[in-house]
Amino acid sequence: MRLKDKVIVVTGSTTGIGEAIARRFSQEGAKIVVHGRDQERAQKVANDIGSTAVHVDDLADPEAGQRLVATALESHGRIDGIVNNAAYVVRSTLDSTDVELFDRVMAINVRAPMLLLKAAHEELKKSSGAVLNIGSINAYCGEPNLLAYSISKGGLMTLSRNLADCLCLEGIRVNHFNVGWVLTPNEYHYKIADGLSEDWPEKVPRSVAPAGRLIKPEEVAAAAVYWISEESRPFNGTVLELEQYPIVGRNPLKEEND
């Protein structure tokens, strides 16, 4: 077991990538602090993986990080790692992004990870802990209808690199995933709401899914194990693109029949 007895806080661990990470880390021997906004879903995940630590909170609240750290310490007495996975994914363009929406996106996607690490700073120093921030390839540009979200993921990527530099002499590692197109339950329903048919995952072009399918949450979770484990100890400030093709520098996509 690569994470045996490590206490890991995983935000947004009641669905999608976060849930997959919580389940995989538990299989690797970790003690998971489950977090989400839905008590029933959080408790189900906790019951499934044998977790005794459940924290339900809205990370838009500036004090949520302190409460989450308190839950971890009350349950397990220490923190060995944090996976900042929770995110507010919302469609918005320049014209549709108002101040309230923008502030909530930034509060959850950028400010909350920073405040959680601030609250856990002393505990991570004690454990020479590891942090993995789950970002998005949208950090590099994004799409016209993902303005606020893309900006927030760019901010999270910079936060990861900055804190890796700030905290490296304290033995704390901060690494970062820019995740590509993953077939989560939420993503499936987002696309249905966008007007796609129910079988849209089967029709994704090979140009953006060379494997013939989208990435699975479990595949992101499998990769995450290494970056929280002691095996990755030499690495700090690494930004890793988890996608089926090169993100930076790829030529414009061609039609599949060209």
Please give the positions annotated as active site. Answer: 149
Helix (H/G/I), strand (E/B), else coil: 134: strand
d(CA 35, CA 13): 6
d(CA 177, CA 238): 8
DSSP codes, 56-123: E--TTSTTHHHHHHHHHHHHHS---EEEE-------B-TTT--HHHHHHHHIIIIIHHHHHHHHHHHH
Q: How many CB atoms lie within 10 A of CB 214?
A: 18
Q: Hunting for tokens 């454990």 — which residue is that?
A: 127
- 22 in Cβ contact with 45 (< 8 Å): yes
Whether residue 184 contacts residue 16, with contact meaning beta carbons closer than 8 Å, is answered with yes
Nearest to 112 by CA among 82, 140, 136, 91: 82
- The structure tokens listed for 206 are 């090979």
Residue length of the chain: 258
Tokens linked to 83: 């996976």
Which amino acid, residue 140?
Y
